[in-house]
Amino acid sequence: MKFFEEWHLLGWYERFEKIVCIILSLMVALVILCALYKLGFHLFHLLVTHGVDPLDHKAFKAIFGMIMILLIALEFKHSIVKVIEKDQGIVQVKTVLLIAILAISRKMIILDTKAMSPLTIFALAAVLLSLGAVYWLMRERDDRILGIKES
């Protein structure tokens, strides 16, 4: 594994970062496993025991919201693992933007439009568009740096 082969080349702070990332990755993995277990148990309980219709609007939003939380956690863990496996700094702005976009998208999907003010909905939409624009600009910049051209 590349990680162990290059361990002796790392400085003390880089080693510290890698150790912290390994511990964080294990903790996030534990949280994801617990959440997956709870999601499975909750879904079984909702669908089988209570006979909730998954096509019911409220039930669908609740189920989809729980699944999206797991996807966001997986993306978060993936960003930590990338730091462990590659020679990257601890903060990857594009990954943080992607996680924020996922989180706000989840909020928009499960949003109860009757319970929220139009101004709050507009603010969430504006933040989502802004994050998307920043992500797109950063990707365009990276593509230019790497010399990737559109076909």
Going residue by residue through the chain (151 aa), what tens digit of pLDDT does each one get?
A: 565 667 777 788 878 888 888 899 999 999 999 999 999 998 888 888 877 777 777 888 888 888 989 999 998 888 888 877 775 665 578 888 988 999 998 888 888 888 889 999 999 999 999 999 999 998 888 888 877 665 4
CB–CB of 94/88 below 8 Å? no
Give the structural domain span for 98. Answer: 2-146
pTM of the model: 0.70
Q: Using CA atoms, how far apart are residues 109 and 39, in angstroms rounded to an integer?
A: 18
Give pLDDT, residue 35: 93
Number of domains, the chain:
1
| Euclidean distance between the first and the last CA atom of the chain, given in angstroms as a whole number | 36
Judge whether 151 lies within some domain: no
* Sign of torsion over alpha carbons 136, 142, 144, 148: negative
H-type helices in 11-117, by residue range? 12-44, 57-85, 93-110
